[in-house]
């Protein structure tokens, strides 16, 4: 006959009590004070989005009303200064063409390589998004524009464009966003430039390309990765070629990463000829959108010195080597264009503080705030 003690011991062994483990009831670590401040700031910014939108509309309306009132106050113009009479000759066609200038597509491609998403901080990704936005805006409005590709468009950068920037990039024209890397983008660019819509040889290309090649119509170009670490210098842009700009803002933490990225793929590299034309008080490192704009100016003017003068920010402290001789060769029309382009509608040199990605890399991180049409950027 079994004793009660033995039954009790069997019962206790059949249903053992669970032992506490270190993984049970583990709560997430508390946020730091800085993280809480950033979270509250982001929430407050999002909550005020509609209010800021309404304020912008109100300001635009008031601005239009002020212009209308000023126009009504102006005295009527004298007959000699008024509109042309019907008996007079119409406005010269050259002036009409200057007022309504049509952009010309050239057979050349620019690729912004955004394959450094995991190497950047959140604020640096915001700056890169601003630079991509401005690159598109400059190319879209340039008299001679290129094919623009944004490669490795994924990860945090794509998420920002889809959410914070409300997916406005889907309405952009003349630009292609692809998930693939810069080599895939270069292949797509080569195929695009061969078709009839690939562009025509105009502007600087019309002067530099031999007549025989224009008659043959046999496109032959190259693929060049632009990086300030390259030992080779880019002397000119060639038609049917693709130029890759590294899209990274990293405060110079990853030195030479773009040069290594290109050489590992066996790709040709080059750097802009800044040192041949400019004396700089800082490193020859520029933001991604500045590199794009400089090449667009060269396509328009065919002169690196003029392109550098119009684009490189004054805060870089750059002056021309033998500047007086270069400026003497500048025709009056080009000077007028320089004044017009020195104050682009998307950004101003004095106000712009863009982290720099020198044809590739970054030297220091600043905050960049694009125009209201391009991006609604949260202030620091």
Give tens-digit pLDDT for 321-363: 765 334 333 343 433 443 333 333 333 333 334 444 445 333 3
CB atoms within 10 A of CB 14: 7
pLDDT greater at residue 270 or residue 200: 270
pLDDT score, position 206: 79
The predicted pLDDT at position 243 comes to: 96
- The yes-or-no verdict on residue 319 having pLDDT over 60 is yes
Please check the confidence at residue 370 and state whether its pLDDT lies above 50: no
Using CA atoms, how far apart are residues 274 and 252, in angstroms rounded to an integer? 19
Share of the chain above pLDDT 90, in %: 32
Instruction: Give the pLDDT score at 70.
Output: 84
Dihedral angle computed from the Cα positions of residues 196, 294, 226 and 361, in that order, rounded to the nearest 10 degrees: -130
Mean of the per-residue pLDDT values of the chain: 74
Residue 8 has what pLDDT?
Answer: 47
Cβ atoms within 10 Å of 109's Cβ, excluding its own: 26
Quick one: pLDDT at residue 46? 86
What is the three-class DSSP state of 375? coil
Contacts of 331 (CB under 8 A, 6+ apart): none
Of these ranges, 38-52, 337-351, 363-377, the one predicted with the greatest mean pLDDT is: 38-52
> CA of 190: how far to CAs of 156, 242, 267, 335, in Å?
28, 8, 15, 34
What pLDDT sits at residue 42? 86
- Catalytic option among 250, 276, 348, 366: 250
Which residues are CB-contacts of 206 (< 8 A; sequence separation ≥ 6)?
214
Q: What is the pLDDT of residues 167-207, one digit of tens each?
A: 999 999 989 999 999 999 999 999 999 887 788 888 788 77
User: Can you tell me whether residue 26 is helix, strand or coil?
Assistant: coil
Beta-carbon contacts of 361 under 8 Å, excluding residues fewer than 6 positions away, are 227, 228, 229, 246, 248, 250, 252, 254, 255, 256, 257, 258, 285
Place of tokens 């998403």: 117
The pLDDT, as a whole number, for residue 328 is: 35
| Element (DSSP H or E) covering residue 244 | strand 242-246
Phi, psi of 279 (to 5 degrees): -105, 120
Q: What angle do CA 304, 233, 350 make, to 5 degrees?
A: 45
pLDDT (tens digit, 9 = 90+) per residue, 271-283?
999 888 887 766 6
Catalytic status, residue 250:
yes
For the chain, the C-alpha Rg in angstroms (whole number) is: 29
pLDDT band at 129; cut points 50, 70, 90: very high
Asked if 104 contacts 144 with a C-beta cutoff of 8 angstroms, the reply is yes
pLDDT tens-digit series, residues 66-119: 888 888 877 665 555 444 444 445 555 554 444 446 788 999 999 999 999 888
pLDDT number for residue 326: 45
Q: 246: part of which helix (H) or strand (E)? A: strand 242-246
Give the mean model confidence (pLDDT) for residues 125-134.
93
Secondary structure of 205-241 in HEC code, one letter for each residue? HHHHCCHHHHHHCCCCCCEEEECCCCCCECCCCCCCC
Q: How confident is the model at residue 136 (pLDDT cuts 50, 70, 90)?
A: very high
Confidence bin at 24 (pLDDT 50/70/90): low
Q: pLDDT band at residue 318, thresholds of 50, 70 and 90?
A: low
The answer to whether 331 touches 103, Cβ cutoff 8 Å, is: no
**CA 215 – CA 209 distance, rounded (Å):** 10
What's this model's pTM, rounded to 2 decimal places? 0.62
Could you tell me how many helices (H) and strands (E) the chain has, helices first? 15, 8
pLDDT value of residue 322:
65
Model pLDDT, residue 20: 55
Which of 9-23, 46-60, 279-293, 330-344 comes out lowest in average pLDDT? 330-344
Sequence-ordered list of residues with C-beta below 8 angstroms from that of 176, at least 6 positions apart, any chain:
147, 148, 149, 150, 185, 188
Q: Which two tokens stand for residue 209?
A: 């390309």
The answer on pLDDT for 208 being more than 90 is no
pLDDT of residue 76: 63
Residue 256 is encoded by which pair of tokens? 């030479």
Structure tokens at 100: 């309504």
Task: With H, G, I as helix, E, B as strand and everything else as coil, classify residue 189.
Answer: helix
DSSP state of 152: S
């Amino acid at each position: 006959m079994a004793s009660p003690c033995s039954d009790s011991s069997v019962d206790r062994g059949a249903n053992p009590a669970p032992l506490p483990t270190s993984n049970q009831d583990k709560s997430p670590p508390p946020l730091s004070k800085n993280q809480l401040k950033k979270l509250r700031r982001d929430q407050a910014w999002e909550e005020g989005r509609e209010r800021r939108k309404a304020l912008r509309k109100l300001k635009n309306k008031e601005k239009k009303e002020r212009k209308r009132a000023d126009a009504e106050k102006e005295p009527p113009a004298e007959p000699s200064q008024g509109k042309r009479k019907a008996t007079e000759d119409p406005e010269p066609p050259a002036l009409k063409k200057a007022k309504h200038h049509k952009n010309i597509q050239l057979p050349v491609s620019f690729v912004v390589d955004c394959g450094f998403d995991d190497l950047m901080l959140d604020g640096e990704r915001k700056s890169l998004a601003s630079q991509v936005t401005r690159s598109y805006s400059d190319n879209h409005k340039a008299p001679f524009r290129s094919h623009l590709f944004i490669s490795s468009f994924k990860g945090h950068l794509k998420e920002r464009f889809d959410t914070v920037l409300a997916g406005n990039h889907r309405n952009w024209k003349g630009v292609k966003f692809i998930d693939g890397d810069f080599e895939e983008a270069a292949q797509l660019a080569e195929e695009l430039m061969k078709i009839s819509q690939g562009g025509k040889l105009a502007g600087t290309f019309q002067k530099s390309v031999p007549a025989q090649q224009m008659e043959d119509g046999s496109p032959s170009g190259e693929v060049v990765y632009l990086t300030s670490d390259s030992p080779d210098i880019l002397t000119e842009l060639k038609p049917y070629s693709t130029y890759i700009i590294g899209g990274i803002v990293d405060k110079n933490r990853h030195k030479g990463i773009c040069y290594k990225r290109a050489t590992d793929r066996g790709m040709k590299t080059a750097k802009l000829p800044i040192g041949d034309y400019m004396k700089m008080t800082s490193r020859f490192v520029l933001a991604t959108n500045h590199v794009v704009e400089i090449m667009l100016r060269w396509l328009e003017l065919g002169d690196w010195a003029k392109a550098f003068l119009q684009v490189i920010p004054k805060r870089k402290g750059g002056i021309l080597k033998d500047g007086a001789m270069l400026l003497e060769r500048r025709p009056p029309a080009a000077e007028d264009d320089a004044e017009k382009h020195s104050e682009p509608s998307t950004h101003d040199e004095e106000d712009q503080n863009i982290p720099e990605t020198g044809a590739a890399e970054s030297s220091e991180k600043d905050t960049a705030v694009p125009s209201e049409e391009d991006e609604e950027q949260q202030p620091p």
